[in-house]
Chains A and B, each alone.
Chain A
Amino acid sequence: MIIDLGYGALVIAFLVSLYGIFAAIYGEWKKKAAWVESARLAMLLTFPLITISAASLIYALANGHYELEYVASVTSNSMPLYLKVTALWGGQAGSLVFWSWLLSLFTTAVTLRKWDRDREFLPWVIVVSLVTLTFFLILVIFVENPFARLWQLPSGQVVETMVAPAGAQVFLRADGRGLNPLLRHPGMVIHPPMLYLGFVAFVVPFAFAIAALVTNRADDRWIRITRRWTLVAWLFLSLGLVLGGRWAYDVLGWGGYWGWDPVEIAAFMPWLTGTAFLHSVMIQEKRGMMKHWNMVLIILTYSLVIFGTFLTRSGVLSSVHSFAQSAIGPLFFAFIAITFIVSLSLLISRWDSLKSKGQMTSLLSREALFMYNNLLFMGILVVCFWGVIFPLISELVTGQKITVGPPFYERATAPQFAGLLLLMGVAPLAAWRHSTFKTLGRAAWKPTLVSLLVPVIVIIGGLRQPAAILGFWLAAFVVCVTLYEFWRGAMARHRRAGESLPVALWRLAGRNRRRYGGYIIHLGVVLMAIGIIGIEVFQSETQGTLAQGESLTIQGYTVTFESLNVFDTSEGRNVARAVVNVEKDGRNLGELYPRRDYYYEAQQPMTIPGVRSTMEDDLYVLLVDWEPISTQGATFKIYHNPLVNWLWLGGIVFILGTLVAAWPNKDKEAVRSRVSRPRYAATKA
């Protein structure tokens, strides 16, 4: 019953979306505000409808309705309730429902805003949002239906359909197959929703961009309306990426956090264009330039978001993420191709009206540096895209499939990331419009001088790798410039208004949250860069088989094997848990418990490292193998990961900075922005 309700609600939501698209276009065409208003209400209605659907699916998951193939494929009796509920996004069909639900949530929030001054955007924002939603609903209803049941035909055959075939009985199972054990981790419970929130929220700025193109409004109104949306989307996308890295580090047991896996890249690509977009919109706001470019960036971001959803959930590329396989690929490609081509043609048709009067004059001006930043982000994007499609291209051209692995990405992106760090240091000091080496030098010499202390210190400390020395200097440079900026601003307030320094600092950041939030994000990026340099350049490893009491040593640590225990748990796992003792320079640091869980029902083991984590380094111990009978000897692999904690710390600072930048301003936006010029009188329906 509840299952039929869930499916029915989806179908109604689909019909309502179709109606909304039609009503919005018709209302705009005939200039009938009542129709547009009706479309707006239709869009509002999708949210409760899809909520009903998602809730019934969660109900089925939580109560073990294994007659649903989806429920059986991602849950089992032994799973705790929170994992059963979050199995909503444990498989493809459920993820698509979840995606649609988030999208309807966001578009509902958008429709509830005050539209008084931007009434002409409304129908087109509705059309774009609902077209996207309709596409996902089509996938869920017709292709990947999580509500489809299994039926046993009189012939004994088992069929998966929504409606009962003649004479068939529901195919009942006592238990499901359960979620992939690798996904049974708190990090995995929140990582996908964060990414999805990021993906979905980018639909909003895209919808406004298209609305601006259709209505031919060449000003930056759409950017100002969606600025906070973009930041929120970006925040969630960043969070999703960082959490995914943390999950890999904790669960996958290869001592790393990022493997340049195609699916990771798929989530990373919209982040790259989104980040470029966040920077380049500032040029449009300040100087009225880059209008075409911003449109290109948001269209690209939207396409990459859809592409990312497709890659993460279709199993099209072999990767640790392809836990699902299906045939929705062609539909996705068709949708991406159509939306991309339509958006681009729209942009081209508006090309002339978007021409700006502004000209870049100085190679070192702030806007020029922002442009280099954009070029580098695009460069990294091209590297990523090239890496993903290269096997296909090489096969087409030479008939030989050639792939590129992580070394390709590392080698091709590292100099560009270094360039971005350099720009991050220089740009805050450069003036808008006109800036020369002389003016820039005058502003930069103090922080530059201080930052040079860092490479001197690390070289004296014995560091010899040029890449690491350069990296640490760049990090120091950005930190010095950023703190210097805070200092200058606070001192100016201190002198002018006589505020005490802490108060001045607080008010400074509060007055210009976007700028200083941005600086905090930069500091977070630098901390992450330090962690990445640490693990990429200085990671070391050792491995060996130990009898009880024997030790392995790595970088001053002594790891001694003490005991091993193998036992079964009540929820169907076999656990082998080793106890090792850690010493450093004669000091006892306590025990670690690396273990290996074997999930009987999924027939899959899972390696859980024992980690001792400090700001200086991580000691990451894996239990690889053990003697089954005597439990006397065990094999361990140990990684020494210097500075990796800075990566996570940087992630937190990064997120805080984004929150500062996105926090609503007290002073109303309405006061500052210009009065809009509606093309037709907005009659209240």
Chain B
Amino acid sequence: MNWLDNNILTLVTFIPAGAAVLVSLLTFVLSLHLPAHFHRNQPGFQFDRDLPWIPTPNIHYHMGIDGISLWLIVLTTFLTPLCVLISWKSIHERVKEFFILLLVLETGLIGVFVSLDLFLFYFFWEATLIPMALLIGVYGHGRRVYAAVKFFLYTMVASVFMLAAILWLYAKTGSFDFVVIQNALRSGSVPDFSGVAALLLFLGFFIAFAVKVPLFPFHTWLPDAHVEAPTAGSVLLAGVLLKMGTYGMLRFNLGLFPEQSRANASWIVVLALIGIVYGALVAMVQPNMKKLIAYSSISHLGFVVLGIFSFTQSGLNGAMFVMLAHGISTGGLFMLAGILYERRHTYDISEFGGLATPMPAYSTFFLFVVLASVGLPLLNGFIGEFLVLSGAFQAKVWWGVVGATGVIWSACYLLWMYQRVFFGTVKHAENSSLPDLDLRERVALWPAAVMALVMGVAPLWWLNAIDPAVHNVLAQFPQLAAKLVGQ
């Protein structure tokens, strides 16, 4: 009894965290079953599960994955335990609720990637909003309420257009099932699917995804959300949540409306290119470390959109790979920024300088992740960006030229930031006694670093699952078929 009295507060505080670690690890281990038993040469959906849920309207509990969603699921389950670990000490109040929200968010994210029923997809899509908004609004810093509401409203407003499009498709095809709708659209048996209607449907989906990505003019919610979010929120936001948008473009915009995607590719790519350059330039002048990483996400996600709308095999493969690599490396950057914040309670770059002396291990990890993010060969960022750029060059040379500058920009802002934070002498006295990484933090960082290296060295292990699925997407573009064979 006495022992319990003495330790009860510790137990109450840490049981949620411990349980969350266990649960999220268990999910991760379970999710490894997917790549292990995934038939890599098979382009269609696997692990298919289709149960009737509601008869009218005809909604199915239909799940399945292909090479596109496979790795995004594993990415989610990989990042969540790291998020739990990294939040262990930084969350002091309402710890239990924090981990509940984190795990609910994981459920929503995985749900988005596995759903093959449009209703189910929309269900999970909206369901991710609440936990993410609460994570930002309750556990965030400074202007957290503003950021949370802005995040919620931007994405909510955008996704209702998708809802309208989904309902239109249902009204015309009588089904919410992705595969059924896709076949109906391809065979041309859908009534009223004329030019204007098809364009509006394409845009309905596209706006929802573009805000989530976020594509250039819709990006203003992202820096706010990232700066105010707690570390775990930022990691999942940048690591996975943004990929919901690019995943959606790949799956739904290209999958359901290939012709409209082709027709609109030019302006979408222009927006993506603006995003790449603009995001990088704005990142360069940020005084706030987290905001810098946030703008770098806009720049990197621009690569993904560029790759997707280049309609080349390597572009799409690269887009998928950038999604994964960006999840790992930006997730790592946010974790590192969070670790520093726990020690100094600021993200201001000018507050630091010379940290390499008191925190050698930390600065090594930071450099490694920065290099991965910059796209150093043999690390994961390089592979994706290379493939995307090669695809962009194949499509239009100037797309590739402008896109390639993004790689240079990212080296500029990240390395410059690294220099200002870690090199030189310690300017602020309190920085000289900062403790280096402890065991828990190392445990959270090592997997991300190892993964960045492994993905850079052996990208084929990922790409050979992605390739058939991407091929399947591109196969709908008859005018490109010749080009594909040529490769």
Interaction A to B: no
